Chain A
Amino acid sequence: MKKQRWSWGKAYLALVFVILYAPILYLVVFSFSSGQTMEKYHGFSWQHYADLLADTRMITIVINTLLVAFLASLLATIIGTLGALAIKDARRPWKNSLLSLNNVLMVSPDVIIGASFLIFFTMLGVRLGFVSVLLSHIAFCIPIVVLMVLPKLNEMSPTLVDAAYDLGASRWQVLSLVVLPSIAPGIFAGYFMAFTYSLDDFAVTFFVTGNGFSTLSVEIYSRARQGINLEINALSTLMFIVSLLLVIGYYLISKRGGRRTRIVAVKEGDAQ
């Protein structure tokens, strides 16, 4: 009786996994098809990968996307870490309001973030393009960094800091020798999350981009509307591999950080 229930559960799970991965495998398989459409598999070919490499517009866009992701997550990590330090030291009523404000961008739908940033940039007269996209990405990446760093700060024992001061350490020494090392796993995790948020974003970028500047998601949107092009499949396959590597990397980082379970709380983002 018990055994049978289990196999039902596993069968169900297998079905869910098939559904979850079908579209991804579908893209990957057709990226190697020598045909031009996703109708029928036509035999193995690297053709679409060659096309992709020859497509300078696409390569420029990939470079742009990566540049935005690396830079935005770096700046977001710095500001977010400082923010977490500030929240940690803040007094009660302030602390709660800071945290609520921090979470506003986490729960807001992308459309609202995109639309309100668009109004904001237009009013300030910021030209839409690289700068507006970069600023937006920094903005929506900061709260996740704060949420990743703060628990580490709270875990840190206050006596450690006091001891350092007692031993005559300056503020900078305390920060660089005591505080930062002990919250490093949180900072790395925060950077990683910010990076994936930035890479993955479509809606916000769609609103605030302009003047010929484009990121991968936006480009894929406009290309998908022009019809199926297996070059995009080739690109998805490469991105899938990169994502896989990133996830493995993150898994290793968080494993070293000691709290594996936290992986789980992470991409949740919207759920916070």
Chain B
Amino acid sequence: MKKIFTAFLAIVVICILLALGDVAFNQQKTGGGKQTLTIYNWGDYIDPALITKFEHQTGYHVDYETFDSNESMLTKIRQGGTNYDVVVPSEYTVQRMKKEHLIAPLSHQKLPNLKYIDPQFLNRSFDPDNRYSVPYFWGTLGIIYNDQKVNGKDVQHWEQLWNPRLKNNVMLIDSARDVFAVALITQHHSVNTTNYHQLKLAQAHLKQLTPNVKAIIADEMKMYMEQNEAAVGVTYSGDAREMININPHLHYVVPSEGSNIWFDNMVIPKAARNKKAAYEFINFMLDPQNAAQNAQYVGYATPNKAAKKELPKKVTNDKAFYPPETTMKHLQVYRDLPLRVLGEYNDLFLEFKMFAK
């Protein structure tokens, strides 16, 4: 009995010590006292130096938390009990959050730097007049290829992915809407189609792609493309930038016939605790100097016209990341679809994956 009791006590003591350690670590992070601004953003999606700069300028303490998908972020905000002041969702999620009354309308007076944003990125259909959101970064869906394994000419268009020469050499992103976008575009349909027949056609076309599909994965694609595991990948421009930085044999193409264009936007949730700081932060990030610094760090395309001028010509002239007007007008934005239709996309995608061999 004594032995059991001693062991019990020892374990309780260990638990208390661990809990104390946990608390100590968390306190170190929050650095007590000051007013706090809590940001909820994608992982590695801001230059940390800017956070420090903002803290120095304003005296706020910044808590930076991250998520890895719009869905997981949304679930958390919906659940409540959170107090994020600034969140960075993609456009279709902005639409959904608006519908579910999760975000607060913005007062443009408090955001004087909004004037620096390129008008072509304002007033988009997912948020007319930018009542709820301010663009943060934008990007595209495209093809990344390895010039050691495939000739650049052969991967300029989506349809070329079906070329039998790419057998077992194409990696796809594990996302129903993106993969269907590829097939829908080759068939000249909208990437937002709610027509089941068109989806079935797209799926039939995708099934013909299966001999070429090597894997359907998410973040791992970066590692595999960098290590020359496959010739071609379908991925987002931001990830492509990171891969190219590591492996210079990689190149990114946005097919001129069209693709998806996406926007990540800053919004203020209704439940925000420190709205004043939130406005200050958004305005701070819209400042051309800061936006340029952030774009340099993150590597995505900035919607900030003034900031773009600050960036090296080599970056802004890169047609892969700032596509020419002719391509831009073919790019389509995802709209938030009804759950029933999303379910159809997901089911058809699951079925496609099942037979992807």
> Which residues of A are in contact with B by a Cβ distance under 8 Å?
37, 39, 56, 59-60, 63-64, 66-67, 70-71, 74, 127-128, 176-177, 180-181, 184, 187-188, 191, 210-212, 222, 224-228
Is B14 a contact partner of A70 (Cβ separation < 8 A)? yes
Q: Are B68 and A127 in contact (CB under 8 A)?
A: no
Cβ-neighbour of A210 out of B4, B18, B76 (below 8 A): B76
Distance A188 CA – B68 CA, assembled complex (angstroms): 40
Contact of B219 among A64, A71, A180, A226 (CB under 8 A): A226
Q: When chains A and B are docked, how far (Å) is the Cα of A39 from the Cα of B228?
A: 12
With A177-B1, A226-B219, A226-B220 as contacts: A70 and B18 at CB distance below 8 Å: yes
Q: Are B65 and A212 touching (Cβ within 8 A)? A: yes
State the CA gap A227–B44 with chains docked (Å). Answer: 15
Main secondary structure of the interface of B (DSSP, over half): helix
Q: List 24 A-B contacts (CB under 8 A).
A: A63-B18, A63-B25, A64-B22, A67-B15, A67-B18, A67-B19, A70-B11, A70-B14, A74-B11, A128-B79, A176-B1, A180-B4, A184-B4, A191-B7, A210-B72, A210-B79, A222-B68, A224-B220, A225-B219, A226-B220, A226-B223, A227-B219, A227-B223, A227-B226
Residue of B4, B12, B14, B217 ringed by the most chain A CB atoms within 10 A: B4
Chain B interfacial residues counted at CB < 8 A: 33
Residue contact B15 to A74, C-beta cutoff 8 Å: yes
- Give the CA-CA distance A105 to B299 in the complex, in Å: 48
Cα A211 to Cα B218 with chains together (Å)? 21
Bound Cα distance A212, B66 (Å): 8
Kindly state the separation between the CA atoms of A37 and B219 in the bound complex, as whole angstroms. 17
Which partner residue on chain B sits nearest A122 by CB separation? B79
Q: Is the CB of B22 within 8 A of A227?
A: no
Q: Given A63-B21, A127-B79, verify A225-B220 contact (CB < 8 Å).
A: yes
What is the bound-complex CA distance between A191 and B226, given in angstroms? 45
Once A56-B25, A63-B21, A63-B22 are accepted as A-B contacts, the answer to whether A226 and B15 lie under 8 Å apart by CB is no
Residues of B contacting A181 in the complex (Cβ-Cβ under 8 angstroms):
1, 3-4
A60 x B22 contact (CB < 8 A): yes
Chain B contacts of A180 at CB under 8 A?
A: 1, 4
